[in-house]
Amino acid sequence: MTVSEAAERVGLTTYTLRWYEQEGLVEPVDRDSAGRRRYSDQDVDWLVLLTRLRRTGMPVRDMRRYAELARQGDRTLGERRALFEAHRDRVLARIGELEEDLKVLNYKIDIYEKMERELL
């Protein structure tokens, strides 16, 4: 599929797709006879995984590292697993943090509700 079709599927812009490729997050995508990118389903799968990592706050730098490891095949499986485990821990910590902050938010909302009632 074309870059714009791929962009639509993964929920990124065509700009970003080209930029990801340039940044080494994605293998150079196949081209048609006119030099236009042709994305395969595997390309899209990879991009979807990247968007997940990105959404969880993984820096582009780490995503690139991961992409490099993936390119080197099975011998980097352990390293890739370690990278994911470390990231999972960060995501868990982040969820914990958000839940803490949510408590404060809820507390504040309660306070405001009480104050609003008292002002009637």
Q: Which residues bind DNA (CB under 7 A)?
A: 2-5, 13-16, 18-19, 31, 33-37, 54, 59-61
Q: Which is nearer to a second copy, 32 or 116 (CB)?
A: 116
Please name the amino acid found at residue 90: R
Select from DNA, a second copy, none the partner in contact with residue 36, using the beta carbon and a kind-dependent cut-off of 5 to 8 Å.
Answer: DNA
Select from a second copy, DNA, none the partner in contact with residue 18, using the beta carbon and a kind-dependent cut-off of 5 to 8 Å.
Answer: DNA
User: What minimum distance in Å lies between the beta carbon of 69 and DNA?
Assistant: 17
The tokens describing 20, both together, are: 């990801």
C-alpha 49/C-alpha 10 separation (Å) is 9
Q: Which is nearer to DNA, 36 or 94 (CB)?
A: 36
Q: Which is nearer to DNA, 61 or 75 (CB)?
A: 61
Residues facing residue 76 across a β-bridge: none
Backbone angles phi, psi at 36, to 5 degrees: -90, 145
The answer to whether residues 80 and 70 touch, using CB atoms and an 8 Å cutoff, is yes
